[in-house]
Amino acid sequence: MKLRIKFSKHGVLRFIGHLDVMRYFQKAIRRAGIDIAYSTGFSPHQIMSFAAPLGVGLESNGEYMDIEVNTLTSSKELTDSLNSQMVDGIEVLEVKLLPDNAGNAMASVAAARYTIAFREGYQPDFLTQTVIGDFFGQDEIIVTKKTKKSELTFDMRPYIYVCDYDEEHKSISLTVDASSAGNIKPALVVKALFDYTNQVFDEFGLLITREETYTNVGTAEDIQLKPLGFVGSNYG
């Protein structure tokens, strides 16, 4: 049985890297007594995959991982069992049973939505919905993205789906391509915004929360974003 687990990550645990989060869940699953399936071979391991590893320092309300289990009583019981083993900062939000033909979490990722707030003393006084609208309304947004071996200059505009400003909370709401082909980091968008307005950018001033991770249930030409949990259903 294939399951998709949604969880949140907050507080000091935002400084824990992806590999440590994976090892943490492996231990929590064993402690919770979940009948997880193991791979075959010389060194069996829990069958587990994560949707889109979260950058160190970012918080999230929309992380996903897939596991396979041999038996399952109910989605609620598994949620409660896992949460009984969680530490402060990580909470399992839902467990969905996936259909047999569902793609794995990592391959299914198409986009992600972020809230970008600012640390005390770093709040920009130039930001308004008008400024955001002018920035987002450009025909192209040329940026330089650093890779492991070089730098890549490209037009980022087609990979930004939503860009709004919350006047009350002084934060930016951003939905961007998060697939393996695009994978736009929110800090790169904010830097482009600051460059557009001739402002000095300091990435340390950003407080970034991933709100949701999406799959595309439409086509490449007609994108229709749905949360990764949309393809599953509650069990029991």
CB 135 within 8 A of CB 129: no
* pLDDT band at residue 221 using 50, 70 and 90 as cut-offs: confident
Note the pLDDT tens digit of each residue in 48-84: 999 988 999 999 999 999 999 999 999 999 999 999 9
CB 164 within 8 A of CB 170: no
- Whether 233 is covered by a domain: the verdict is no
Same domain? For 153 and 185 the reply is yes
Same domain? For 103 and 210 the reply is no
Same domain? For 15 and 95 the reply is yes
Angstrom distances, CA of residue 93 to CA of 56, 65, 225: 21, 12, 20
The helix/strand/coil state of 196 is helix
Give the range of the structural domain holding residue 93, as residue numbers without chain letter: 2-107
Note the pLDDT tens digit of each residue in 165-220: 998 899 999 999 999 888 899 999 999 999 999 999 999 999 999 999 999 998 88
- Whether 63 is covered by a domain: the verdict is yes
CATH number at residue 101: 3.30.70.580
Same domain? For 38 and 129 the reply is no
Q: Report how many domains make up the chain.
A: 2
Tokens of 129: 């919905």
Domain end, chosen from 107, 124, 159, is at: 107
Domain end, chosen from 84, 107, 130, is at: 107
Closest listed residue to residue 25, CA positions, set 12, 41, 36, 14 = 36
The helix/strand/coil state of 159 is helix
Return the higher-pLDDT residue of 232 and 206. 206
Interatomic CA distance for residues 165 and 104, integer angstroms: 33
- Whether 103 is covered by a domain: the verdict is yes
- Whether 81 is covered by a domain: the verdict is yes
Same domain? For 59 and 101 the reply is yes
Same domain? For 114 and 152 the reply is yes
